[in-house]
Amino acid sequence: MTSPTASPSDLLQLARRTLEIEATAVSHLQDRLDQSFLDAVTLILQCQGRVVVSGMGKSGHIGGKIAATLASTGTPAFFMHPAEASHGDLGMITGQDVVIVLSNSGESAEIAAIVPLIKRRGARLISMTGNPDSTLAREADIHLDASVAQEACPHNLAPTASTTAALAMGDALAVAVLFARGFTAEDFARTHPGGALGRRLLVHVRDLMHKDADLPVVKANASLKEALLEMTRKSLGMTAVTDDAGRLLGIFTDGDLRRLLDNDVDVRGVVITEVMKRDPRTITEDALAVEAVQMMETFKINGLFAVNAAGQLSGALNMHDLLRAGVV
């Protein structure tokens, strides 16, 4: 039910106050990053099994996100619901695992029921609570203090600032671990092959380029007419010119043809080497497709020829190929 006294200005003021309280809560976490935090990072890095994250209620939602972040940044992890753990899911935990348990109070009954069983299995326990004197904090091998001065809820009841703080602490832990692992952007892309980042970081020029029978190319002794026919057949708006060893000598494009016609050049009987552009820009076939995009945008060109390690022509691609692949 809407409060009859809630004016638009009151709502905006409350929203701003909410953001202020949560930002302050996160900021204060910095002062609590101490040896315990470093010990937690070390414990996760040394883990021979998996990281199991658990929490009840809103803490559980935050725990699920922390587990997902760890899993996507090089640390095998999953979320285990504490209530389900008491009904068989504890079998997921082994003595090689590290368990991270979230509870703002540190006294949740569902958590208290499984902590002794987790420790009995030999798994190491990291707690993240808002109460350093709680049962969970005392029983854990390592405790991370995510306490807040107040919730953003005007009644100081609904988990708001506390869940934001726990989320931020979990992110700090995940980022520290990925950095310590030497986890790279390419590693991240391997765990996100279906996303835009995966396409940008994992697709190479060799994966997209036209090659073999689809590659527009003529020899140095070809006529301009032969070059134009090759361009028409391959439909890339350009053709490469190579020597007998397959090395790229030059390029001729649709734009070059238009300029010749504008200058009233008689194209009949012209040899391609007389009108081609020499020493064109190239890219290696092993380069990332995003590098091809950067080159095309920098030099304002629509196509590139690719060369292999020996400097021989191996393929061609244009901006349309990159667009179709979702790289641009």
83 plus 217 within the same structural domain:
no
Residue 211 sits at φ, ψ, to 5 deg, of: -145, 175
Whether residues 154 and 235 share a domain: the answer is no
Regarding whether 176 and 27 lie in a shared domain, the answer is yes
The answer to whether 101 and 54 are in contact (CB under 8 A) is yes
Task: State whether 142 and 247 are in the same domain.
Answer: no
314 in a structural domain: yes
CATH code of the domain covering residue 72: 3.40.50.10490
In this prediction the pTM is 0.67
Distances (CA, A) of 90 to 81, 86, 117, 195, 240: 10, 7, 8, 33, 64
CATH classification of the domain holding 300: 3.10.580.10
Q: What is the DSSP string of 164-179?
A: HHHHHHHHHHHHHHHH
Is 226 in the same domain as 136?
Answer: no
CA angle at 239 for the pair 222 and 201, rounded to the nearest 5°: 150
The answer to whether the beta carbons of residues 105 and 134 sit under 8 Å apart is yes
Domain that holds residue 76: 8-183
Beta-strand relationship, 303-307 and 282-284: parallel
Quickly count: other Cβ atoms within 10 Å of residue 309's Cβ: 9
Instruction: Please give the structure tokens belonging to residue 169.
Output: 């602490």
Same domain assignment for residues 114 and 16:
yes
Considering its fold, how many domains does the chain have in total?
2
Q: Is residue 23 one of the residues assigned to a domain?
A: yes
In a domain, 299, yes or no: yes
**How do the pLDDT tens digits run along the chain, 328 residues long?**
455 678 999 999 999 999 999 999 999 999 999 999 999 999 999 999 999 999 999 999 999 999 999 998 999 999 999 999 988 899 999 999 999 999 999 999 999 999 999 999 999 999 999 999 999 999 999 999 999 999 999 999 899 999 999 999 999 999 999 999 998 777 776 666 556 556 666 788 999 999 999 999 999 999 999 999 999 999 999 999 999 999 999 999 999 999 988 888 777 779 999 999 998 999 999 998 889 999 999 999 999 999 998 889 999 999 998 888 877 6
Residues 21 and 128 in one domain: yes
Judgement on whether residues 26 and 160 belong to the same structural domain of the protein: yes
Which amino acid, residue 287? A
